[in-house]
Amino acid sequence: MPIRLFPFILKEPYNQTEVWINGQKACFNPYGYIPFKIDIHPYCNAPGVPNTIAVKVVNEGLNSRWYAGSGIYRHVWLMKTDKVHLDEWDTFIDASKVEGKKATVDLHSILHNSGKEKVTAHLKIQIFSPQGKKFIPLLNQSIYPVKPISPFPLLLI
């Protein structure tokens, strides 16, 4: 059975945020209005045993120029990923090279491998036009992440 990771993502809590999993302090973020993510897998109970996630947000004094309160102002997600996965903030596209009707598109991402052995991952990419039509055929790319974090570029012309 593959190892599962459980990223817990908080979008913009304010301020001095603590995350507790099953009575263990898993994270402290002293800053406000900044999204952050932690992997709660090391703090989870065995399968079949319930888990408890607690989030504490503290506001001490008048310390914000926008709003004097505290809390969680954006979404909170608990996700489940495989040990080999793409991360939310690690993929971007640069299409700044345009000449006439020709454009060069650079796609960059980072493949994460939380396992200990080398694996083969298959990346499938489809790009669609604003009208919803396939812009280019399906691209298949085999990636061999040896390290825990393996960056890879893909150039489309």
Instruction: For residue range 15-71, list pLDDT tens digits in order.
Output: 889 999 999 999 999 888 888 889 898 899 999 999 999 999 987 776 666 666 678
| DSSP calls for 75-142 | -EEE--EESEEE-TTS-EEEEEEEETTEEEEEEEEEEEE-SSS---EEEEE--B-TTS-BSSPPEEEE
CA nearest neighbour of 15 among 76, 75, 63: 63
pLDDT of residue 46: 92
In the prediction, which pLDDT does 48 show? Answer: 93
pLDDT at 118: 76
pLDDT at 26: 95
pLDDT at position 140: 62
